[in-house]
Amino acid sequence: MVSNHDVVISFVPPTMHMPVAKSCLKNGKHLTTSSYISPEMEALDADVKKKGLIFLNESGLDPGIDIMSTIKVLDEAKHHGWKIVAYESYCGGLPVAEQADNPLGYKFSWNPGAAIKASKNKSIFLKNKKRMEVDEPLKCVEDRDDISVAMKLEVYPNRNSLTFMDKWKMNDCETFIRGTIRFKGFSYIISAFHDLGLTSDLPVPSGVKTLRDLAESRLKDACPSKAHPLAAEALNQVMMGVDKDDEVFIKKFLSKVDLSYMK
């Protein structure tokens, strides 16, 4: 298939790009993906250039549109002789407000598992000249009322921002953050699910058929003192409209969450 075409657009899961890339290199074909550049992809750079090919990665929404708009602003600043000392870029595939009708205020337009997993990635960024490393970015969420007067939005840091600061030669920046934007409420619910082990990659125990079953099984291993202060409320919202047995379960869950550390 690759040999019969001039350009390949690879929309397979990120872990499966490399066989496609190697086939493109072997057959002398151009390649584009919307994924972050992996170390394995970067290792092909010299060979790709040697063959006069273009392997264009990071060309989706985020990364992609944000990068192109950033470079546009950066080039304009250089043209005027301006110095950029702070950079913040927030992206997110938000549903239109009137259809953000679930507790997350979000609808998955891509792999839900990958979207949830991305929120677990360690974040590294620069804020007021200080390098910040955050293991749980959803607990580093900030409400932003300066983006829209009509919508309640929140932002949190996404992955390692500093690799882009180096690539774009923006080392004069005292603040450099690439992050994710969501409607308010998304972060505490997903963070609660992380704390409770509901988003764990571990196999689902046998006999588990419902969200309540899964939560109950994960609670046995969850550390109550670590549980998100709003975990019970988060679980309650997502299970809204469930039957009486579920209400009993939620009350039981409430009794197991230690909120004393909030005092």
Q: Which residues are catalytic?
A: 62
Amino acid at 142: E
Q: Which helix (H) or strand (E) holds 133?
A: strand 130-134
Look at phi and psi of residue 127 and say left if phi exceeds 0, alpha if psi is from -120 to 50, else beta.
Answer: beta
- The residue written with tokens 């200080």 in the block is 130
Q: Which residue has the tokens 């690759």?
A: 2
Please compute Rg for the chain using Cα positions.
22
Q: Which residues contact 263 (CB under 8 A, 6 or more apart)?
A: none
Q: Does residue 112 have a cis peptide bond before it, meaning omega lies within 30 degrees of 0?
A: no
Mapped onto helix, strand or coil, the DSSP state of residue 106 is: coil
CA distances from 245 to 6, 121, 248 (A): 59, 35, 5
Q: Is 141 left (phi over 0), alpha (psi -120 to 50) or beta?
A: beta
Are 102 and 113 a contacting pair, CB within 8 Å?
Answer: no
